[in-house]
């Protein structure tokens, strides 16, 4: 099949490389950076550059920031082959899916929202690897009107690429959960490292500090855009963790060892429950 990948950064570049491992499909790609296109061509991650006319692609995958994805769809809404499928890989789904559904209506093109649960602290084509998605979860957000056969074909494709699990949900449910499992983690990590005490850091850190601050190393252009498109759910989650932190502070100020122990026990038990569910899921 002919596959077009729009955006050859960390995600699009890794997808191209993952597909090319098996040499089954023909991969076309484009990127606003001529460097990424040249490199991807030279390394064989793409077989050719595609632009303006996507009619040869049975599958088009959009791997750019949310606003750029919608701009791309607006400019190219008539450039896809009727009967083909377009999937986006943006980290927010309500905004992109609503715009995409609207833009691709009556074009004969099936749109399905997607979000690969994989990433790295670095970005750009130069950090793309063929193994990035191996074993990871791929979230897809079909709607009631998504043709069953198209959804199955896309799911099979991502499994073939190397994803370990396909998770179906709605765009709203995706955004609600991702606000917690991913976006809040980046906010908290960034908030954590900005303590004045951090600036006097002296090699006192054990693993816990490294864990809590790892994702503070982020691409602020991408994440600020993702956060803004999901600000309702994200603000809710920030509110919840602030309340939980206030509960801890209140127990400490009241020197209430019993309350403190109970709160910590509850957290430990929840963590153990998730770890055990995670193990079950992987078996």
Q: How far is the CB of 212 from its own copies (least distance, A)?
A: 5
If DSSP states are collapsed to H, E and C, what string results for 129-187?
CCCCCCCCEEEEECCCCCCHHHHHHHHHHHHHHCCCEEEECCHHHHHHHHHHHHHHHHH
Q: How far is the CB of 186 from its own copies (least distance, A)?
A: 6
In the three-class reduction of DSSP (H, G, I as helix; E, B as strand; rest coil), residue 34 is classed as helix
Q: How far is the CB of 205 from its own copies (least distance, A)?
A: 4
Strand partners, 5: 29, 61
206: its two tokens: 């054990």
CB-nearer residue toward its own copies: 104 or 136: 136
Q: How far is the CB of 269 from its own copies (least distance, A)?
A: 9
Taking phi over 0 as left and psi of -120 to 50 as alpha, with beta for the rest, 99 belongs to alpha
Q: How far is the CB of 50 from its own copies (least distance, A)?
A: 29
CB-nearer residue toward its own copies: 23 or 279: 279
In the three-class reduction of DSSP (H, G, I as helix; E, B as strand; rest coil), residue 220 is classed as helix
- Strand runs (DSSP E) across the chain, as ranges? 2-6, 26-30, 48-49, 59-62, 85-88, 110-116, 137-141, 165-168
91: its two tokens: 């980290």
CB-nearer residue toward its own copies: 23 or 210: 210
Q: How far is the CB of 96 from its own copies (least distance, A)?
A: 17
* Cβ atoms within 10 Å of 66's Cβ, excluding its own: 22
CB-nearer residue toward its own copies: 40 or 226: 226
CB-nearer residue toward its own copies: 17 or 174: 174
CB-nearer residue toward its own copies: 98 or 270: 270
């Amino acid at each position: 099949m002919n596959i077009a990948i729009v955006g050859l950064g960390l995600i699009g570049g890794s997808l191209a490389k993952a597909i090319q491992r098996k040499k089954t499909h023909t991969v076309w790609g484009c990127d606003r950076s001529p460097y990424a296109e040249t490199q991807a061509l030279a390394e064989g991650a793409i077989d050719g550059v595609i632009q303006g006319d996507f009619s040869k692609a049975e599958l088009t995958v959009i791997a750019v920031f949310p606003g750029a994805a919608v701009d791309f769809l607006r400019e190219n809404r008539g450039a896809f082959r009727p009967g083909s499928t377009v999937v986006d890989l943006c980290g927010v789904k309500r905004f992109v899916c609503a715009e995409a559904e609207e833009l691709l209506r009556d074009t004969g093109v099936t749109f399905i929202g997607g979000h690969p649960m994989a990433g790295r602290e670095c970005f750009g084509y130069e950090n793309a690897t063929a193994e990035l998605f191996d074993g990871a979860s791929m979230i897809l957000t079909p709607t009631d009107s998504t043709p069953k056969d198209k959804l199955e074909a896309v799911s099979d494709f991502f499994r073939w690429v190397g994803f370990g699990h396909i998770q179906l949900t709605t765009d709203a449910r995706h955004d609600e959960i991702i606000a917690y499992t991913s976006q809040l983690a980046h906010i908290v990590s960034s908030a954590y490292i900005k303590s004045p005490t951090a600036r006097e850091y002296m090699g006192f850190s054990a693993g816990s500090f490294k864990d809590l601050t790892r994702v503070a190393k982020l691409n602020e252009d991408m994440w600020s855009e993702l956060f803004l498109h999901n600000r309702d759910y994200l603000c809710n989650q920030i509110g919840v963790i602030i309340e939980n932190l206030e509960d801890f502070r209140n127990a400490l100020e009241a020197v209430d060892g019993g309350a403190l122990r109970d709160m910590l026990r509850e957290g430990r038990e929840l963590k153990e429950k998730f770890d055990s569910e995670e193990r079950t899921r992987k078996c």
